[in-house]
Structure 1
Amino acid sequence: MLVRIVKMGFYKQNIEVFTENFEATKTKIRAFEGCSYLELYRDKKDPSIYFTYSYWESEEALENYRKSELFNSIWRKIKPLFSIRPEAWSVDKIETLN
């Protein structure tokens, strides 16, 4: 399993556009083959910074999503909204404590 963390910063006037777009597409992302988990976070100190946190079966599954029409349609809408360059990390989950 691969965990994907993406940090995005938005111009304040674009935050609502982003959150509406996420609301409209989140179930499609989560239903994409290979995705087993999806969350959205907002920074406590800077409300213009958001993070997505998702689980993928493999790197191949994530790459299939990144090459999909779904990803491209989402990216076309949100790319102009960024105030900073997005950052992304693919990490291995080592341990979970509940």
Structure 2
Amino acid sequence: MSEEMLAQLIGHAESEGAELVTLRAIAEEAGTLGAQRALARLGLEDAGAAKDMSELRELLGAWRDAKRSAFKAAFQWAGRMVAALVLVGLAVKLGFPGWLR
């Protein structure tokens, strides 16, 4: 349907000397047709595509949250290990093993 409309508009532009309104209509129809073709190539032209995209966005958001939580947990673990090593080093330096005897 849009391809026919685009062909009609181009024919109209040729016969009338291409007025600004006609050229704008051609550009709009060409944009719509291009968007429809792009969606069709991606497999997103059906009615369920909006729901699929929404679910994919939710999944991507959950993945980002999980990744952020994993990095946060890893840094917290590393920080605790560094703090524990500092405490052990201080205890050895201050002679804590001697206090146990």
Q: Which structure features the higher share of helix residues?
A: 2
Between structure 1 and structure 2, the one with the greater Rg is 2
TM-score, structure 1 normalization: 0.21
TM score, norm. by length of structure 2: 0.21
Question: Going by fraction, where is strand more abundant, 1 or 2?
Answer: 1
